[in-house]
A and B are shown apart, each in its own frame.
Chain A
Amino acid sequence: MGTLVVENVVAGYGSGPNILKGLSLTVESGKAYCIIGPNGAGKSTLIKVIAGLLKPREGKIFFKGEDITPLRADQVLQRGLCYVPSDRSLFPDMTVKENLRMGGFVMRDTRKVDERIDELFAQFPILKEKSSQMAKTLSGGQQQLAAIARAMVLKPEMIMLDEPSLGLSPKVVQQIFGTITTLRDQGLTILLVEQNARKGLQIADMGVVLDLGTNSFEAPACDVLNDPRIQELYLGKRHQAVAAEECK
Chain B
Amino acid sequence: MIQVIQILILGIALGGVYALMSSGMTLIFGVMRIVNLAHSAFIVLAAYLAFFVFKTFNIDPIVSMAFTMPVMFLVGVIYYRLLFASRADNPRFADITVLVTFATALVIEGILAFIFTGIYRSTTPTYAKTSINFGPFFIPQSQLYALIISIVLIVGLWMFMRYTRIGNAIRATMQNRNAAQVVGVNVTWISTLSFGIGLAMAGAAGSLLSFVFTFYPAKHIAWIGMIMCLVVLGGMGSLVGALVSSFLLATAAAYVNFYFGAAWSPITFYLSLFLILLFRPQGLFGKKVEG
Contacts and interface: CB of A to CB of B under 8 A. Distances in A.
A90 B172 CA distance: 9
B157 to A, nearest CB: 17
A94 B171 contact: yes
A24 to B, nearest CB: 25
B175 A53 contact: no
B286 to A, nearest CB: 11
Interface range, B side: 10 to 19
A77 interface: yes
B55 interface: no
Contact of A73 (B168, B172, B181, B287): B181
Contacts, number: 63
B182 A89 contact: yes
A83 B89 CA distance: 21
Interface in A192-217: none
A182 to B, nearest CB: 22
17 contacts: A51-B182, A72-B186, A74-B185, A85-B182, A89-B182, A91-B179, A93-B287, A101-B168, A102-B168, A102-B169, A102-B172, A102-B179, A105-B165, A105-B183, A105-B185, A106-B184, A150-B183
Interface of B: 89, 165, 168-169, 171-172, 175-176, 178-186, 287
Given A90-B176, A94-B171, A150-B183, 5 more contacts: A78-B184, A85-B179, A89-B178, A91-B180, A92-B287
A77 B184 contact: yes
A103 interface: yes
A98 interface: yes
A105 B169 CA distance: 8
A73 B176 contact: no
B168 A106 contact: no
A51 B168 CA distance: 22
A49 B20 CA distance: 41
Contacts of B180: 91, 102
Given A101-B168, A105-B169, A91 B175 contact: yes
Which of A72, A78, A84, A102 has the most chain B CB atoms closer than 10 A to its own CB?
Answer: A102
Nearest to B177: A89
Given A14-B89, A98-B168, A89 B179 contact: yes
